[in-house]
Amino acid sequence: MPSDPQNELSLDSASDAGEAHAFAHVRHQPPHPLVEVWRDFRESKGALAGLAVSVALVLIAIFAPWVAPHSPIDQDQSAFLQPPAWLPGGSWTDPLGTDAVGRDLLSRLIFGARLSLFVGLLVVTLSLAVGVVLGLLSGFYRGWIDSVIMRLVDIMMAIPSLLLAIAIVAILGPSLVNAIIAIAIVNIPFYIRLTRASVVAESAKDYVMASRVAGAGHLRLMFSTLLPKCTAPLIVQATLGFSSAILDAAALGFLGLGAQPPTPEWGTMLADSMQFVQSAWWVVTFPGLAILITVLAFNLMGDGLRDALDPKLKR
């Protein structure tokens, strides 16, 4: 039986219309949030450079025993204050030269990166965990709980952070562990204020009211409903706090209150080499450059994350 050309034409038109509708749906489907964040993040060349340097530092820290040419504590009594390899008297055995007791400077910098990143990670983890919990309690319950927590925060923030850290370490005693505790304590107020502000802003919104009506408990409201809405500013603050923790640890080490010799820590290396600033510039310059590059890289990455995660800064 011959087919009807009009029916075939209508079927073809319907099929084409369906395919066009499906294609338009796929084409206009919004991108995944992570894809959108990465798209906005990579628009900043400085943020990409900071990310590349940060990833390189993490890899160097992880593989430090295989990357470093020597042990960070082994001494060579025949090579005290040996200059870098490209200067007269230098040797490619110690590419960046040696310190006052003959230890390879490059190896100490590499192992110092491992220690500095570990300090930054531990400080951010401790201060973030405590600050988020206290910030949630302060913003959710308000009343006298909010008043007590925020008055303590105001007192802590009225004291310069480095001075407060020095006081805490002076009480606990100079060591790397006590320096980490002190730096974590002085960073807690920033996370409390940030979390509290986000919780107060979100608590009056409809989805929170709906969760209350549905019978959600206080813990569920705080950690499942409100906390996910606070993650964007907390991620940015944690990234910037990472670099701040490295800088504070170096400052405490420089003052003799952090890591103790012969631990390869950048601040301690600077303190030990200050007397040679004119006769052997490399023992001062390279640890200082390591601190500068690391802090700058994490700050650039934090600025890029802030621009990518904050909807007010997007075009």
Model confidence over 140-151: pLDDT tens digits?
Answer: 888 899 999 999
CA distance 295 to 10: 66
- Residue at 312: amino acid letter: K
CA distance 284 to 287: 6
Q: What are phi and psi of 262, to 5 degrees?
A: -95, 25
Q: How confident is the model at residue 309 (pLDDT cuts 50, 70, 90)?
A: confident
- Under a CB-based contact definition with an 8 Å cutoff, are residues 48 and 303 in contact? no
- Residue at 179: amino acid letter: A
Model confidence over 46-105: pLDDT tens digits?
Answer: 889 999 999 999 999 999 999 998 888 888 888 888 889 888 888 888 899 888 888 999
Decide yes or no: CATH 1.25.40.10 for domain 43-69+106-313: no
Who contacts 173 (Cβ-Cβ below 8 Å, separation ≥6)?
none
Nearest residue to 247 (alpha-carbon basis) of 288, 208, 213: 288
pTM over 0.75: yes
pLDDT at 307: 79
The three-state DSSP-derived secondary structure of 69-137 is: CCCCCCCCCCCCCCCCCCCCCCCCCCCCCECCCCCEHHHHHHHHHHHHHHHHHHHHHHHHHHHHHHHHH
Q: Look-up: residue for tokens 């007590």?
A: 148
Helix (H) or strand (E) holding 156: helix 143-158
pLDDT at 190: 92
Nearest residue to 146 (alpha-carbon basis) of 193, 80, 87, 215: 193
Q: Is the pLDDT of residue 3 over 80?
A: no
Model confidence over 261-277: pLDDT tens digits?
Answer: 888 889 888 888 888 88
Q: Is the pLDDT of residue 11 over 50?
A: no
pLDDT at 277: 82
The overall average pLDDT reported for the chain is: 83
CA distance 6 to 188: 75
What is the mean predicted confidence (pLDDT) over 133-138?
A: 92
CA distance 32 to 107: 42
- Under a CB-based contact definition with an 8 Å cutoff, are residues 136 and 269 in contact? no
In eight-state DSSP terms, residue 226 is I
Q: Is the pLDDT of residue 303 over 90?
A: no
Model confidence over 176-234: pLDDT tens digits?
Answer: 899 999 999 999 999 999 999 888 888 878 887 888 778 777 788 888 888 888 888 88
CA distance 241 to 252: 16
